[in-house]
Structures are given as C-alpha cells and as structure tokens.
Structure 1
Amino acid sequence: MEAAGINCDQIRNKERRLIFDSETQPYEFILAKGPDVTTFLERGAADIGIVGSDILTENQSSQYELLNLDIGKCQFVLASTKEFDPDAPKRKIIGTKYPLITKRYFDNLGQDVEIIKIEGSVELAPLTGLADAIVDITETGTTIRENHLKIFDYLDKVSTRLVVNRMSLKQHPEAIFDFVDRIKKVVNERKEEEVG
C-alpha cells in the first residue's frame, strides 16, 4: 500500500490497536485475522479485504476477488510419514485446517476419507498417529521436512488476494476502483521487475 502512495504510518506504529482512521486519506484500516476478513466483508463491516486465497476458498467467499496481489505464495500439499501409501485401499484419516478443500481434493480422487479439523501444528497428526496424512499449506516445505514428513501430492497454489464487498462496490465504485488501480499498478510494476 505504501508503494501505491497510501500512508500506512499508523499501522506501522500500531501498538495494540486494531482500527486506524487515516487523518490524510479517506481510509480506515482494520487489522483482523485471515478467517475473520471474509466475515467482515460478508457482513458489510469492511469494504475491501486483503486475505489468502486459501481462506477465500475454504470459507466459500461470495465477495468479488478483484486482484491477485502475487504475494504470500504457498501451495497446498498432501504430506505424511514415509510409510504412508496414498493408494492403499483403506479409508484414510486426514488432518487439516482446511476440511472443505481437503474434501474436494479427495472427492476428485474418488476417495472417501475421514477428515479431522486441526487448528494448530497440523504436522503432528501423522507423527502421533492421530491421522494417516495431512493437507496443509507450505511455502518452502521446510517445516514438513524438518518434521520428517514427505510430500505426496501438490494441490492448489495459494496467494494473497484483494477482495471487495459486493454492496460496497455498488455504493462506492469510484473510490474502490481508485484504490484497486493504485495497488494493481504496484503489483504489475513488481511483476515487470521480476521478469526484467
């Protein structure tokens, strides 16, 4: 946002505050956990949200995804101990923070699995025998490797997205598109720098 000319000084010096009114711009910033961003958008408490595509998919967000910010890139993986056999005919138990995404993945494979929702360190599930395998997101695979797990399959890619509340877009199209265009220009410039 700073590269787009948006003053973020208040956010940089946030201390424990969660809401910031800009004195120089027509923006109010709200800091929220990823899963809550979609709730704020759905309920009209926020006009624009920045959140991972993993959360948008898992929460089945119905708001407008206007821009892939091309940051926070990760990938969903199926991982387990070396002994895991993904083709074994038995019904598997899968640990994950993402039950909907996991169910869709295994449905596409034609496999019926039991899914256990885990909020913390998902990697513990196959190590402790709680689950046969996990579906989780990883950026580099380091945590998976350091816990002696192996990646068996790569699922969807994940990145950070800019999402807009549908009603807000109808009520404030100029202000929202101005904001989005400013951010989009920065995203495109960074892509060009990476290529060049």
Structure 2
Amino acid sequence: MKPLRMALTKGRLEKDTVALLERIGYDCEAVHNKGRKLILPVGDRLEVVLAKAADVITYVEHGVCDLGVVGKDTIMENGTSFYEVLDLGFGRCKFALAAPKGSDFFGGYASRTIATKYPNVARNYFESKAMDIRFIKIEGSVELAPLLGLSDAIVDIVETGTTLKENGLEVVETICDISARLIVNTASLKLRKAEIEELVAQMEQAKKQA
C-alpha cells in the first residue's frame, strides 16, 4: 500500500504540522532538510507535499493528495469539495472588517467599496447586512486601498492588529475566527478509512498534549 499523501501549506503551518507529526512519532528529518524538494517521506506510511494554500485544496479535491493542512480562511474562500475533519488549533487569527480610524462605516445610506484578497468571504459577510457594496480584489497589501482612496474599508486577516494601527485603520467588526484545519479527500476517506481515521485520532491526541 502506498503511503498516505498529505499536502501542507508552506511556511508557519508547515512547521506547526511537522511539530505535531513528530509528537506522534513520525520521522520528519526529510522535511527539515528538504532543500528544493517538494514531495518528502515522513516515516513509512506518510509523505508530505509542500504547496501554496489554495493549491493544497486543489490537490485534495482532485485526489492527488489524501489529506491537507490549510487555514480556514483559504477553505472559506476557495471551496468545500472535501471533508474538514479537525481543527488543529494553531495558526490562529481572525477575519475582520477594518476602516480608517474614526470613520462611521455603517452610517448613512451611501454605497461602500471594500478592498480584499477574499471577495467570496467579504460577499458572504455583507449579504446579511443588506448594504450596497462594491468589491475590489487586491493581491498585495490591502491596507493601502483606504489610504489611496480606492476603498472605504477592507476585509482581511488580522493577527495582532499592529499593521492596521500603523496605517491608521481599526477593526470595525470581527467576521470570524480562523485556525489551521485538516481536510480529507472524499474518496480517500472511503477507500482508506481505517488509516485516515487512525491518523486523525493521533493528531487530535497530540494536539491536546501540545
């Protein structure tokens, strides 16, 4: 039987996931010394694929990876054709609506413009508020948009809020909390149910001991 394949979001989530796997007893030496390799063995029963966050979802949805670790933010923006089986508890932050300090974002009846890297999340959030909103997708530093007069506010991920303050912005409303999640391909969960459920249980136990 070939190893289970797990896609990991490069960077901090990768490091936190590897630490979790090591607590279970997996040998992650190949990941620590990966060089430029992107597919790496983790013990005999697991291998990891290092990818960008949105690609983790793509690989799991298409079944080339059995499992993936990705932020809830990416899941909310990019689709749900998989099972979300475990909140891993790390990578904590939040989605928030932020506007220039002192501005009355919800006052009046004028239409508002929102800049964001997450138009689907922003659209879903504002649908319940019956407001006239225009969305502009930004790829880089979204905090720039209100400073340049491109938007009235932003919807973005907030960790400490320091970047917002330094750019004259403040949180108007928290949309939801975010953390890293373990996702599983729908076919894999049927075909390799026992293996996957064992790994999920081990990860859940290791998370509690962290």
TM normalised by structure 2 equals: 0.86
Partner residue, 1:61:
80
Partner residue, 1:193:
none
1:83 deviates by 4.7
Partner residue, 1:135:
155
Partner residue, 1:154:
174
Instruction: Determine the C-alpha separation between the residues in 1 that align with 2:102 and 2:134.
Output: 19
Equivalent position to 2:199, from 179, 190, 193: 179
Amino acid at match of 1:151: V
CA contact (8 A) 1:84 1:133 kept: no
**Structure with the largest fraction of strand:** 2
Cα deviation 1:128-163 (Å, max 9, x = unaligned): 111111000111111111212111111111000000
Instruction: Determine the C-alpha separation between the residues in 1 that align with 2:103 and 2:148.
Output: 13
1:100 deviates by 0.8
Amino acid at match of 1:43: H
Matched, 1:14 2:13: no
Matched, 1:32 2:42: no
Matched, 1:45 2:64: yes
**Percent of residue pairs identical:** 43
Unaligned ranges ≥5, structure 2: 1-20
1:84 deviates by 2.9
Instruction: Determine the C-alpha separation between the residues in 1 that align with 2:144 and 2:113.
Output: 13
Partner residue, 1:126:
146
Instruction: Determine the C-alpha separation between the residues in 2 that align with 1:145 and 1:8.
Output: 39
Instruction: Determine the C-alpha separation between the residues in 2 that align with 1:16 and 1:95.
Output: 35
Partner residue, 1:81:
100
Amino acid at match of 2:81: S
Amino acid at match of 1:66: V
Give the count of matched residue pairs.
189
Amino acid at match of 1:181: A
CA contact (8 A) 1:76 1:135 kept: yes
1:62 deviates by 2.0
TM normalised by structure 1 equals: 0.92
